[in-house]
């Protein structure tokens, strides 16, 4: 009696394409992104219609000032916190140490920002309004810390709900204040405080997820955690100095040189860019960055994931931005106001620069994941220096349009440098 040969083992299923997981995660975050984008569009329209001349630019400058004070916590401490909390059990001793270190660094950044704000007089307000402003910034920073903990724990649904709530409350508060024709600084403070008050539901969501177990206000601060999170803080410092601060100074210069009404044309294009940039950044930070961080110990898989996402996004972004340009004649009056239709003259170089910027971000995320602080700072500083040089050449020659031409040149050169660096890394292996 002959024994039958064993049945061949079934082949393992082929791995899913890289783009499929990225798209699935992006759709999961779409609700939060959509709410934030809708809120921004509504506010832009209201400020363009109901605020005084130049109100849109002043709103953007206020948001820029908020970013100056929240960049170190949000783009530094919180980014590192997601990386280090992700593999830990909530409530464990190590988990509490990382969370405590992050809270301490956030508090230090807030104190530093408040001191600079008071000494430099960036807000031409009284001490009472400045106190309200800093209270709102502190609440917003605390909410961001809790949101990072939720994201690290994989509580994407709770994180999305929190983002939707922030968008709805801030938009509603600013819209109500604008429609009641309150002073502009009251409108801006209402916008900020509404965002800060989302710390209350954030506390509830974090507690429900078990992320606050065994926490003590006077717990020990880990020097190791402080040192490692400080690497991300240094990267955020470069973003602050060579990104947010440059934008603030540029807008201030344009206001002083061309006046509020004329600068609103440039600001309309920049605001439109901010809206879809916010969508892109939210998807990349909630989907692409966590996945890339998880693959940090697998260089080949990490490179394949990056290339797959790059191959997907390059044509998709080109088509999307091209559609915006094709619809410019009715889109700008619809989103802002009829008197801002002249902003269409600035749209093409802005869109080209944004396409290059988004693709370069995909490469730069590698430096963040690997905590390559020196290289990250060098990239940010070099990019800012190129931008400053282009502005110095193009603004006197082309006027207000020189700002968007410099934007396109800056990120076009940055993308070329990123591609050359990636090719060089491949050839070295």
Instruction: Answer whether 103's CB lies under 8 Å from 173's CB.
Output: no
Task: Give residue 25's pLDDT.
Answer: 52
Strands (E) located in 95-180: none
Task: Give residue 204's pLDDT.
Answer: 93
Q: Measuring CA to CA, how many Å separate 26 from each of 39, 108, 187?
A: 19, 34, 33
pLDDT tens for 177-204 read 998 988 888 999 999 999 999 999 999 9
Query: Alpha helix locations (H) across 51-92?
Result: 55-72, 78-85
Residues 6 or more apart whose CB falls under 8 angstroms from that of 363 comprise 306, 418, 419, 421, 422
DSSP track, 201-256: HHHHHHHHTTTTTT--TT----HHHHHHHHHHHHHHHHHIIIIIHHHHHHHHHHHH
pLDDT tens for 244-294 read 888 889 998 998 899 888 899 999 999 999 888 888 887 787 777 777 777
Res. 170: pLDDT tops 60: yes
Task: Give residue 2's pLDDT.
Answer: 43
pLDDT tens for 16-73 read 555 455 555 555 556 667 777 788 888 888 888 888 777 888 898 898 889 889 988 9
How many angstroms separate the CA atoms of 64 and 392, rounded?
Answer: 22
- Among positive and negative, which fits the CA dihedral 179, 244, 232, 357? positive
Task: Give residue 3's pLDDT.
Answer: 42
How many angstroms separate the CA atoms of 148 and 286, rounded?
Answer: 10
Instruction: Answer whether 257's CB lies under 8 Å from 398's CB.
Output: no
Lookup: tokens for 83: 């990386």
Mean pLDDT of 368-389: 85
Task: Give residue 175's pLDDT.
Answer: 92
Lookup: tokens for 197: 């008050």
Instruction: Answer whether 400's CB lies under 8 Å from 262's CB.
Output: yes
Mean pLDDT of 139-164: 88
Task: Give residue 401's pLDDT.
Answer: 94
């Amino acid at each position: 009696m002959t024994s039958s040969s064993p049945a061949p083992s079934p082949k393992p299923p082929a791995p899913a394409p890289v783009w499929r997981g990225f798209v699935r995660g992006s759709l999961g975050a779409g609700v939060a992104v959509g709410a934030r984008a809708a809120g921004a569009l509504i506010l832009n329209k209201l400020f363009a219609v109901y605020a005084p001349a130049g109100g849109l630019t002043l709103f953007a400058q206020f948001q820029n000032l908020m970013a100056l004070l929240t960049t170190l916590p949000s783009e530094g401490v919180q980014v590192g916190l997601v990386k280090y909390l992700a593999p830990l059990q909530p409530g464990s001793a190590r988990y509490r140490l990382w969370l405590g270190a992050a809270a301490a660094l956030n508090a230090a950044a807030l104190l530093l920002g408040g001191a600079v704000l008071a000494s430099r007089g960036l807000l031409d307000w009284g001490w009472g309004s400045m106190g309200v402003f800093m209270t709102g910034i502190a609440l917003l920073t605390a909410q961001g810390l809790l949101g990072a903990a939720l994201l690290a724990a994989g509580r994407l649904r709770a994180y999305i709900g929190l983002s939707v709530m922030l968008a709805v409350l801030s938009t509603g508060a600013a819209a109500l204040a604008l429609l009641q024709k309150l002073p502009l600084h009251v409108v801006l403070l209402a916008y900020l405080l509404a965002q800060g008050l989302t710390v209350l539901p954030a506390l509830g969501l974090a507690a429900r997820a078990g992320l606050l177990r065994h926490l003590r206000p006077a717990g020990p601060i880990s020097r190791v955690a402080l040192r490692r999170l400080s690497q991300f803080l240094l990267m955020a410092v470069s973003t602050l100095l060579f990104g947010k601060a440059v934008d603030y100074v540029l807008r201030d210069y344009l206001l002083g040189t061309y006046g509020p009404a004329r600068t609103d044309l440039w600001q309309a294009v920049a605001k439109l860019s901010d809206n879809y940039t916010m969508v892109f950044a939210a998807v990349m930070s909630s989907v692409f960055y966590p996945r890339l961080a998880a693959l940090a110990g697998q260089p080949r898989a990490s490179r394949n994931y990056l290339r797959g996402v790059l191959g997907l996004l390059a044509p998709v972004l080109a088509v999307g931005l091209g559609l915006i340009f094709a619809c410019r004649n009715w889109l700008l009056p619809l989103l802002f106001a009829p008197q801002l239709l002249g902003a269409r003259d600035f749209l093409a170089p802005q869109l080209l620069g944004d396409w290059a910027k988004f693709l370069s971000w995909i490469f730069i995320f590698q430096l963040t994941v690997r905590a390559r602080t020196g290289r990250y700072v060098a990239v940010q500083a070099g990019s800012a220096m190129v931008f400053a040089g282009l502005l110095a050449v193009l603004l006197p020659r082309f006027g207000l349009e020189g700002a968007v031409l410099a934007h396109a040149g800056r990120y076009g050169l940055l993308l070329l440098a990123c591609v050359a660096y990636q090719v060089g890394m491949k050839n070295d292996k």
